[in-house]
Structure 1
Amino acid sequence: MPIRFFIGILLVVLLAGCQQKATADDHLPRTDYVTGYNGNAQIPDDRTLLKENDTIQAEKGFMTLKEANFEPQTIVVGDIHLTIHDVKRIHLEPDYSMVDYFHQLTHKETFDFVKAYVTIENTAKETRHFSPVATLKAASGTQSFERDIYLDNISGSFAPSEKKQGNIGYITEPGDDTLTVTTSAVFDEHEQQLTKQTTFTLQP
């Protein structure tokens, strides 16, 4: 009898553990939108950083997730649909091999940055030209698109119905809680402006 009792208790504990793990997994955000992304030459892959204080050690550096927002939003700029899938604030300790690259952008050895994984779709039947970031404004000042740390080649010419996916990311300072992004205008294949610029916010 005691043996059966202890076996019963053990089964209950195991089942409870499995249910807790399933519940925890159910609460993790979906990241299927990033399927097919081949990574970046400068920045470690952050797709496994899902909860605050998650970390990853990679060849290019050590990253800690400070906060994240997985609520998608879509910004419509004329024929261009810009979908933001995630916004994360990450602390990065770059590998020594990447120091020269980041010294062009900051003199700090470690730093925070805010990044967003985006999909950009040209819904027109003609070529369009567009950039998701022209300028980025925060409490510490304004940055141009040239200070993007990812350089994922998701700007420029979009063929009819073409989609591009990748990251945009900018080094931030303490107090840069919300980033206001101004896009480019949308241009046709003859470089004629079709729409005005649009603004949106990145809030981890």
Structure 2
Amino acid sequence: MKQLLAALMLGTILSGCGNAPDVTQEKSSPKQETQTPVSIEKTAAYVPNPQLPDDRQLTSVNQSVSDDKGELTLKQIVRPDVTRTIGPIQMKIEEIKVFHARPSYGMIDFFHGFTHDESFDLIKTRVTITNTGEEPVTFNPVAHFKLGAKTEKTLEDDVYLESLATTYAPSETRRGNFGFILEQPLTSVELLTSDVLNENRDVVEKGISFSTDL
């Protein structure tokens, strides 16, 4: 009888071991999606600006474009297509446009940080900047933007926010725009860049100015 009970108990134990999960097996983890933010200023492909409509198709005065961010109407355009060299920095000034802008309702709060008008004129400059040197340098393409004798804008007034004022790695190229709300009509503009600084914040090359009629 004792032998029979012992046999039954041994069978139960072995059966339980056979049904137990394999604790040595690794649990599979769900895959985690990695999201890489798109850099507006570094990508070769066009990336829409978060604040303003795409104006690339506006090539003639009085043309308009609109999307969910608002409407732009082209008032003036000039394409200097000139390249300026500031030490290791090469800056190509591709085009300057003046628009009448009418932001959508969803964008009003953003522009209220710059103006309380529901629509306004806006000047935009498109540039390509390359560090041709072998060391990183810091550069700002628009330290000052002179609009006539009395009005001057700085990077704090920029509505495009495309991070062009930054440290450029060797051989790095950034393309993008900077733009400012206007308070009066323009016939000319003058752009003054920052100095080019090295990693120790020493001046590598003094900034330059560029002016053009509109």
Output the TM-score relative to the length of structure 2. 0.76
Which residue in the other structure is 1:27 paired with? none
Which residue in the other structure is 1:116 paired with? 125
Gaps of 5+ in 1: 1-33
1:129 to 138, 143, 150: 138
**Following the alignment from structure 1 to structure 2, what is the Cα–Cα distance between the partners of residues 55 and 175?**
19
Is 1:36 the counterpart of 2:45 in the alignment?
A: yes
Which residue in the other structure is 1:79 paired with? 88
The letter of the residue matching 1:51 is: S
User: Alpha-carbon deviation of 1:194?
Assistant: 1.1
User: Alpha-carbon deviation of 1:83?
Assistant: 0.4
**Following the alignment from structure 1 to structure 2, what is the Cα–Cα distance between the partners of residues 120 and 182?**
15
Contact kept, 8 Å, 1:115 with 1:167, in 2: the verdict is yes
- Structure number with greater Rg is 2
Output the TM-score relative to the length of structure 1. 0.79
Contact kept, 8 Å, 1:87 with 1:203, in 2: the verdict is no
Change (3 A) 1:67 1:176: closer
**Following the alignment from structure 1 to structure 2, what is the Cα–Cα distance between the partners of residues 111 and 202?**
22
Count of aligned pairs: 171
Contact kept, 8 Å, 1:115 with 1:168, in 2: the verdict is yes
- What is the percentage of aligned positions where both structures have the same residue? 36
Contact kept, 8 Å, 1:183 with 1:199, in 2: the verdict is yes
Which residue in the other structure is 2:67 paired with? 58
Gaps of 5+ in 2: 1-42
Which residue in the other structure is 2:156 paired with? 146
**Following the alignment from structure 1 to structure 2, what is the Cα–Cα distance between the partners of residues 203 and 173?**
18
The letter of the residue matching 2:137 is: R
Which residue in the other structure is 1:88 paired with? 97
